[in-house]
């Protein structure tokens, strides 16, 4: 997160999906509007795993330092440049830093003597948090890396997500530790301090933030200071209804400084499930809403797999999607566990459909229904035609409404409506116990010369 005068901007990990690093804007720190993304498409040097974007003011301009997997399968640090936090951004075009041991979770920090450093987690074991000197323009590294913090047994061998803030003569290194992602998670936020940026660092006697039943496994945060000089710590945590950590949620905590100089996060080191709004503005209730497919401006929340570029075109006649032989997927994340969705499709040479897509580090398996050439098919697979589960016949060429009902993010069933009411197609299908359906996607499978038109997209939460 970053503040620019009275505006706040937040960027988020997108993993295997692009546009990479979704961008959100707020005037009050609690109500957020999607405004696009940092990178409209995957840079040529990358191969997915778009993690941990971090804003940096660099003079009058803005940078986003981020993690991505390189084509040689090494985790590297990249950087995107813009004149302002809202963008547009231009990628550097190559990795900024790509050591053989891998580097993730980067931030920038200065040493108080005019030197700038890239601070990051070394990806391969034994890991740890390291720093390497940046050039004056911030676009090159030089010298040998310095280890700032080792992972201990109490950290489960992992320290990551560094954030450095200077306060009363100390550099405070906030870091996430332990297991973020494998259920059951054990993530927590720690803190250490040093007079010198490069250490040595002394750890606090207790973690800065540990989980509760309401907000589990908090960690990996950023500090932002509002116009009233109050500091806040934004991090992610897991809700009780998410046993496999599929939906890490952004959480905002107040930050204050104790008399002994150490930072105090949340409610004396516990995440706050509820609190007064930072700037006194009421938080609006979340609304599950499908975009208007006849709007000629493409909704910014659409995304697609990094290696299967979707080519959507917003028109007043509906959203036009070009086909891909491996199945074009134009997806959007869905927050509720229970959801109903429907869309009217008109296939023009391809098999056009609606699918639920599993979450994960890479593009997950899709479970979908598609229609084309007088046939309806329920299928599942990661790409291509997948495995056929059920089929039915339908009138050739006529628009058909496809319907999907998701329960608990784990089961999905399909129906079609050709004008006489819904007719179920195929059985109820389930994800593996370790995965969840996190996205709904419009799909189009076939020759790239073919396509489909989608209209009347509706999403409603609840059973």
pLDDT in tens, 241-250: 999 999 999 9
Please, what is the Cα angle at 227 between 221 and 233, to 5 degrees?
Answer: 15
Backbone phi, psi, residue 154, to 5° = -65, -20
Cβ–Cβ < 8 Å for 312, 302: yes
SS3 154: helix
Across the range 346-359, mean pLDDT stands at 96
Say what the pLDDT of residue 462 is.
82
Q: How far apart are CA 27 and CA 233, in angstroms?
A: 17
Q: How far apart are CA 68 and CA 287, in angstroms?
A: 31
Q: How far apart are CA 276 and CA 285, in angstroms?
A: 15
**With bands split at pLDDT 50, 70 and 90, how would you rate the model's confidence at 361?**
confident
Q: Which residue has the higher pLDDT, 269 or 420?
A: 269
Give the pTM: 0.95
**With bands split at pLDDT 50, 70 and 90, how would you rate the model's confidence at 157?**
very high
**With bands split at pLDDT 50, 70 and 90, how would you rate the model's confidence at 406?**
very high
Task: State percent of the chain over pLDDT 70.
Answer: 100
3-class SS shares of the chain: helix, strand, coil, % to 5 = 0, 55, 45
Across the range 78-106, mean pLDDT stands at 98
Task: State percent of the chain over pLDDT 90.
Answer: 93
Please, what is the Cα angle at 64 between 61 and 67, to 5 degrees?
Answer: 160
The token pair at 313 is 């075109």
**Residue 267 neighbours by CB under 8 Å, 6+ apart:** none
Cβ–Cβ < 8 Å for 406, 339: yes
**With bands split at pLDDT 50, 70 and 90, how would you rate the model's confidence at 140?**
very high
pLDDT in tens, 24-59: 999 999 999 999 999 999 999 999 999 999 999 999
Say what the pLDDT of residue 289 is.
82
**With bands split at pLDDT 50, 70 and 90, how would you rate the model's confidence at 398?**
confident
Say what the pLDDT of residue 286 is.
81
Cβ–Cβ < 8 Å for 221, 281: no
**With bands split at pLDDT 50, 70 and 90, how would you rate the model's confidence at 463?**
confident
Q: Which domains does the chain have, with CATH numbers?
A: 2-265 (2.115.10.20), 304-461 (2.60.120.200)
Residue 244: how many other CB atoms lie within 10 Å: 21
**Residue 454 neighbours by CB under 8 Å, 6+ apart:** 293, 318, 319, 320, 321, 343, 344, 345, 346, 352, 442
pLDDT in tens, 286-334: 878 899 999 999 999 999 999 999 999 999 999 999 999 999 999 999 9
pLDDT in tens, 215-246: 999 999 999 999 999 999 999 999 999 999 99
Whether 390 shows a pLDDT value over 80: the answer reads yes
Q: How far apart are CA 78 and CA 65, in angstroms?
A: 6
Say what the pLDDT of residue 71 is.
97
Cβ–Cβ < 8 Å for 230, 3: no
Cβ–Cβ < 8 Å for 54, 224: no
Computed over every residue of the chain, the mean pLDDT equals: 96
Cα-Cα-Cα-Cα torsion 344, 347, 353, 354, nearest 10 degrees, comes to: -30
């Amino acid at each position: 997160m970053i503040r620019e005068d009275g505006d706040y901007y937040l960027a988020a990990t997108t993993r295997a999906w692009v546009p990479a690093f979704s961008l959100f804007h707020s005037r009050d720190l609690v109500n957020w509007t999607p405004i696009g993304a940092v990178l409209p498409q995957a840079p040529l040097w990358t191969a997915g795993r778009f993690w941990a974007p971090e804003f940096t003011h660099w003079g009058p301009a803005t940078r986003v330092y981020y993690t991505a997997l390189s084509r040689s399968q090494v985790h590297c640090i990249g950087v995107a440049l813009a004149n302002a936090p809202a963008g547009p951004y231009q990628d550097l075009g190559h990795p900024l830093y790509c050591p053989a041991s891998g580097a993730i979770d980067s931030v920038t920090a200065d040493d108080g003597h005019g030197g700038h450093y890239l601070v990051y987690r070394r990806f391969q074991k034994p890991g740890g948090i390291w720093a390497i000197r940046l050039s004056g323009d911030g676009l090159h590294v030089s010298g040998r890396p310095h280890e700032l913090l080792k992972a201990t047994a109490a950290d489960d061998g992992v320290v990551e997500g560094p954030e450095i803030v200077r306060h009363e003569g100390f550099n405070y290194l906030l870091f996430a530790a332990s297991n973020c992602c494998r259920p059951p998670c054990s993530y927590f936020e720690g803190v250490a301090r040093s007079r010198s940026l490069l250490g040595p660092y002394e750890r606090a006697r207790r973690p800065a933030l540990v989980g509760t039943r309401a907000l589990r496994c908090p960690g990996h945060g950023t500090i932002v200071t509002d116009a009233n000089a109050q500091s806040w710590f934004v991090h992610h945590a897991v809700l009780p209804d998410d046993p496999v950590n599929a939906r890490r949620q952004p959480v905002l905590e107040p930050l204050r400084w104790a008399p002994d100089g150490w930072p105090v996060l949340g409610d004396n080191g516990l995440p706050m499930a509820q609190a007064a709004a930072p700037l006194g503005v009421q938080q609006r209730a979340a609304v599950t809403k499908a975009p208007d497919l006849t709007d000629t401006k493409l909704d910014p929340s659409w995304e697609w797999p990094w290696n299967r570029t979707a080519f959507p075109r917003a028109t007043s006649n509906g959203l036009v999607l070009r086909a891909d032989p491996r199945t074009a997927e134009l997806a959007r994340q869905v927050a509720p566990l229970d959801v109903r969705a429907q869309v009217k499709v008109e296939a023009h040479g391809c098999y056009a459909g609606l699918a639920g897509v599993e979450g994960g580090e890479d593009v997950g398996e899709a479970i979908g229904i598609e229609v084309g050439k007088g046939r309806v098919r329920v299928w599942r697979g990661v790409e291509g035609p997948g495995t056929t589960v059920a089929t039915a016949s339908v009138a050739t060429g006529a628009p058909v409404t496809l319907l999907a009902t998701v329960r608990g993010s784990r089961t999905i069933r399909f129906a079609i409506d050709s004008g006489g009411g819904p007719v179920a197609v195929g059985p109820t299908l389930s994800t593996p116990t370790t995965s969840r359906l996190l996205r709904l996607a419009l799909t189009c499978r076939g020759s790239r010369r073919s396509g489909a038109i989608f209209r009347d997209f509706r999403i409603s939460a609840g059973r």
